[in-house]
Structure 1
Amino acid sequence: MPRSLFPGQHCRVLIVDATTGATEVVFDSEETLVEAPNWSPDGRFLVLNGDGLLWRLAVDRRDARTEALEPIAMHGVPEINNDHVLAPDSRSVFVSGKDGHLYEVPWAGGPGRRVTRDHPEGRGYKNYLHGVSPDGTTLAVVVGSRPTPESTVDEWRTNLALVSVATGETLLVTDDVHPDDGPEFAPDGEWLWFNTERFTAGGRTGVPGHAQLARVPRGGGEPGRVVVSDTVDWFPHPSPDGSTLVFLSYAAGTQGHPENHEVVLRVLELHDGEPVPGAVPRDLLRLFGGQGTLNVSGWAPDSRRFACVEYPLPT
């Protein structure tokens, strides 16, 4: 069942200044819950999911009503989750269906095309979309599955993969027991930023509730830790100009990326998409959110602003 708001809870779509943290509310509703804004390459629209559907919101429209959301028709596509990205040429939107497959939908709406191929039966395969390469040919995906048909649900694993938009061919970038998530292409398309639980926490490796940020070459290799923190860090998104990374931090010990938590949006200085030696993240904005706030990239084309969602409860 699609997620919904508690009585008196608001869903607010924010545009955030990446330098000052100043916010502007572009959608505010006590009725409709939307998640994970993308910013269209032409700067005119935000694209969000809600109620299992895909919606478009004009950036310059300040309207709290649900009518401000324009549906994007997805004929033949099942209910979707919060993972979606726009093609760089703005002709289509890629979405994650709750059936575990990825689909391509025309920007103007219309029949959807399934991108991913069939997976082996019995292992519970799911594809979760997070990024698209700068040339639009490749999707950055989390592939979840059980190692064997006999494996239990507790053995379900998540690894990073690249999926060809044209053929649906899937190539694993990581293939191990460590939970990985949130892969996002660097602006040059050669690296994947992501969060992982493979690094040390309290002297132990791979402790649940200690997600940290990392990078790995798109062709695979040894992931490199980027930020060492006591927080639980998720969903790294480099700006289009490669100057800034924004990500979401939970309190230490938080497992997964749950909804309705106090979180912090943090930024890290980059240089041409590369981590700056000695640079440390700084807190930009505290809000009540988590799941749905920043799952996919919400950067504006100008790299000065990004979009996110908060879900404040009544006081």
Structure 2
Amino acid sequence: MLCTIETFDMATRQSRVVLRSEALLEAPNWARDGALIVNGEGLLHRLAEDGLSVIDTGDCDLLNNDHGLSPDGAWLAISDKTETGKSCIYVLPADGGTPRRVTQGVPSWFHGWSPDGARLAYTAVRDGQFAICTCPVAGGEETRVVTSAHHYDGPDYTPDGQWIWFNSERGGPASDLWRVRPDGSDLQQMTRGERVEWFPHPSPCGRHVLYLSYPEGTEGHPFGRHVELRLMPAGGGAPETLVNLYGGQGTINVPCWAPDGSAFAYVRYTEPQESPCPV
């Protein structure tokens, strides 16, 4: 399978291919030095001008694609199931090193850092229900920000720390985008429509939210669909479609903005071609 890691320039509204790969790579983060962090085959990789290199994650070698850099770029949060068989969240130096486990409850899937770098936001299953949770990076008591008998995913903080955006189908059969205060108050539904919306990422300037949009009727967030990358005003309103592509799972699961907000990164996959009918 061919995938391409691409960047989208917000000023020119143009995409640029950074890497073509036969390996399955997913979920780019953008480091402060311009490198991208991606995962593939259970490991994390750093993509810089000299190519791909593996990041040392110690004993954690069953990583999923939920990972992200701290606001100062010094730390990586990862989600790995090596220790327990279910996803746990760990942090380690951004250049690699020994992971330190943060979440005791499982499963837990990382999705965002608070702007001050003090807390992590993540998706979890607790008492048989999905939840959006936060906890101190240093370890400590978990806060269930919102939970109910619905699916919740993709929490990401706004740059001022006043909101956590996420996606859920709690408002109807299709997944929409929501936001909530970190203390669980003022829950607001931000999209309503026939399409299926996932993985909102507020821009560093705080004015926009980038997200993945699936066609009507899509269940979950599958790989291998014709999807759109959309941009909407942070206060709500009509979205702009920036990119049409073949992707889905792995395209923008985690925060993918450049630190200055000038661009974002994503993964596109090659659509399988039907074999010609035999003559």
Specify if TM > 0.5: yes
- Please give the secondary structure, in 1, of the residue aligned with 2:146: coil
Give a deviation string over 1:103-125, Cα, whole Å, max 9, x none. Answer: 112112121111112x3xxxxx3
Q: Give the match's secondary structure for 2:91.
A: strand
Equivalent of 2:124 in 140, 143, 156: 143
- Give the alignment's Cα RMSD to 1 decimal: 1.5
The residue number in structure 2 matching 1:18 is 10
2:261 equivalent in structure 1: 303
Q: Whole-Å Cα distance in 2 between the matches of residues 112 and 255 of structure 1?
A: 34
SS in 1 for 2:147: coil
What code does the residue aligned with 1:39 have?
W
- Pick from 111, 131, 135 the counterpart of residue 98 of structure 2: 111
Aligned to 2:59: 76
Aligned-pair identity (%): 41
Answer yes or no: is 1:127 the counterpart of 2:127: no
CA deviations on 1:248-299 (whole Å, 9 max, x unpaired) are 01011111100011101111123xxxx15xx301211100000000001110
Give distance in 2, aligned partners of 1:230 and 1:47.
33
AA at the equivalent of 1:136: G
Which whole-Å CA distance do the structure 1 matches of 2:221 and 2:238 have between them?
22
Q: Is 1:87–2:70 an aligned residue pair? A: yes
The structure 1 residue matched to 2:26, chosen from 21, 32, 35, is: 35
Alpha-carbon distance change, 126 to 56 in structure 1, aligned in 2, over 3 angstroms: same
Equivalent of 1:236 in 200, 213, 222 = 200
How many residues get paired? 269
The answer to whether 1:247 aligns with 2:205 is no
- The residue type equivalent to 2:169 in the other structure is E
User: CA shift at 1:314, angstroms?
Assistant: 4.7
- CA deviations 1:118-141 (Å, max 9, x no partner) are x3xxxxx30011000011110001
Change (3 A) 1:306 1:44: same
- How many Å separate the matches in 2 of 1:225 and 1:133? 21
Report what 1:151 is aligned to.
Answer: none
Aligned to 1:227: 191
Return the offset for 1:20: 5.0
CA distance in 2, matches of 1:43, 1:229: 38
Q: Once the two structures are superposed, what CA deviation does each residue of 1:52-98 show, in whole Å capped at 9, x if it has no partner?
A: 0011011x45xxxxxx2111101122411000010122221000112
State which of 75, 79, 103 in structure 2 corresponds to 1:96: 79
Partners of 1:222 and 1:179 lie apart in 2 by 19
Q: Describe the shift of the 1:187–1:222 C-alpha distance in structure 2 as closer, same or farther (beyond 3 A).
A: same
Q: How far has the Cα of 1:222 moved from its partner?
A: 4.5
Instruction: Provide structure 1 residue ranges, at least 5 long, that are not aligned to the other structure.
Output: 1-8, 62-67, 120-124, 148-155, 201-206
Structure 2: distance between partners of 1:112 and 1:287:
35
CA contact (8 A) 1:115 1:167 kept: yes
Q: Is structure 2 residue 213 aligned with structure 1 residue 290?
A: no
1:170 to 142, 148, 156: 142
Q: 1:100 to 1:314 in 2, by over 3 A?
A: closer
**What letter is aligned with 1:109?**
G
For 1:57 and 1:306, how far apart are their aligned partners in 2?
14
Instruction: Give the CA deviation at 1:18.
Output: 3.2
CA contact (8 A) 2:129 2:147 kept: no
Aligned to 2:79, the other structure's residue is in SS state strand
Closer/same/farther in 2, CA of residues 168 and 77 from structure 1, 3 Å limit: farther
Counterpart in 1 of 2:169?
197
Shift in Å at residue 313 of structure 1? 2.5
**Residues in 2 aligned to 1:303 and 1:110: alpha-carbon distance in whole angstroms:** 28
- Give the Cα separation in 1 of the matches to 2:138 and 2:30: 23
Q: CA deviation at 1:221?
A: 2.2
Give the 4+ runs in structure 1 shifted more than 3 A: 18-21
| 1:233-258 Cα shifts (integer Å, max 9, x gaps) | 00000111112211001011111100
